[in-house]
Structure 1
Amino acid sequence: MNTAAIDLKQLRRDLRRQRRQVNIFQQRQAAQAILKHLRRSPMLHQSQKVGLYLDAFGEIATKNLIEYCFKLGKQVYLPKICNMNQHLHWVKISRQQFYSRRFALHRLGMLEPQQRGVAVQHLDMLCMPLLACDVTGMRLGMGGGFYDRTLAKAKQRPYRLGLAHQFQKLACVLPHQAWDQPLHALCTPESYQCFKT
């Protein structure tokens, strides 16, 4: 696929539609396969502070992974959008908060914690949602730029792992900006692929 010929707006539309068409059974299978890969990930086992997300738009479901992190004694952090600068802050949640779903609905449609958060550099590992990932590890997000903006300003960046359905792994190079943040690795139901960042 020719980089210059890629229409990112159309690609985002197509991938959003495809992601919405993933049924509950396929979603459950994908989440289980990804957890199986991550159980063998040295990076997850070495990381104490793990940033995750609450799926809301057909992304890879994270419930099993969050539960696994709690089981391992990890500190689990969820993103909260800071209204002042549109950066993400990371809020440490408890197992009790997760199970009782004590979160607020953001105007963009996802749930987020309400407590005060910390900057992304406090995390050891960051599991990120995405619309697509190319062969170099560049991530295509929903278009809001929250993750890229947040990471671009960080003094120190955590290990970045994208979680994706198989169709979100593209065999091309996506056009990107200087501030776009590449992934260290991508985990899909079929593979765990590391990139040279």
Structure 2
Amino acid sequence: MDTRQQLRSKLRRQRRALTPLQQKEASRRLLNQLGKIPAIQRVKHIAVYIDSDGEIGTQPIIEWCHRHNKRVYLPVLHPLSHNRLWFTQYTPSTPMKRNKYGILEPRKPYHRMLSAKRIDLVLMPLVGFDTNGGRLGMGGGYYDRTFSYLKKPGINKPRLIGLAHELQKVDTLPIEPWDIPLSAVATDKALHTYSS
């Protein structure tokens, strides 16, 4: 097992060990940390994920977005491009289904889709993050491939912010050339910002 896979296993075990009450409190505190980002008030199109596997809860964020007239988009596995994501608008009445990984996504992915380049802010899941804005995902590369165009000079939309429990922070991650850095990570305890 390589270093990244060992770290993934360890961090996933730690976040799954949190009790339902700890998870609920963490998701509430996460929303408070996100409130420290001035841009969140201005943006209109926000992509977020439905939490699973011990990920920090996103339901309070989704509810806040709907109350503040933000359009919420969920990632959907792209049916044609391997390991890439589409983003489909989500409302409380959107019919949902489980994808091949068991993750909830909109049942009709073609309905109200938005290109990744038109989203203002992406709140991304992660398994681990480090002090330099490095992100360790699940290993499929979906987000890295979808946002690989951000490595080109002068392109800065959307802003990528990771969401995590503070216990998912490590000093340094083994980073690969294809990894897309984050501009910030919001946790239940802090907002970590990074220079791009």
Query: Which 4+ stretches in 1 moved above 4 angstroms?
Result: none
Where structure 2 has 5 or more consecutive residues not aligned to the other structure, the ranges are none
* Count of matched residue pairs: 187
Q: Would you say 1:37 and 2:40 are equivalent positions?
A: no
**Structure 1 residue 41: Cα displacement:** 2.1
**Structure 1 residue 193: Cα displacement:** 1.3
Whole-angstrom CA distance in 2 between matches of 1:159 and 1:22: 29
Percentage identity across aligned positions? 36
Whole-angstrom CA distance in 2 between matches of 1:64 and 1:34: 9
Whole-angstrom CA distance in 1 between matches of 2:91 and 2:12: 31
Most deviating of 155-164 and 31-40: 155-164
Aligned match of 1:192: 191
**Structure 1 residue 17: Cα displacement:** 1.2
Q: Provide the secondary structure at the position in 2 that maps to 1:96.
A: coil
Normalising by structure 2, we get a TM-score of 0.90
Normalising by structure 1, we get a TM-score of 0.90
Aligned match of 1:47: 43
Q: Would you say 1:164 and 2:164 are equivalent positions?
A: yes
Render the CA deviation track for 1:132-183: whole Å, top value 9, x for unaligned: 0111101000111100110004675311111110111112x21212221111
Aligned match for 1:150, one of 143, 146, 149: 146
In structure 2, give the amino acid aligned to 1:91.
T
Where structure 1 has 5 or more consecutive residues not aligned to the other structure, the ranges are 1-5
Aligned match of 1:115: 109
**Structure 1 residue 104: Cα displacement:** 1.0
Whole-angstrom CA distance in 2 between matches of 1:178 and 1:8: 14
Task: Quote the RMSD (CA, aligned, Å).
Answer: 1.5
Aligned match for 1:79, one of 69, 75, 78: 75
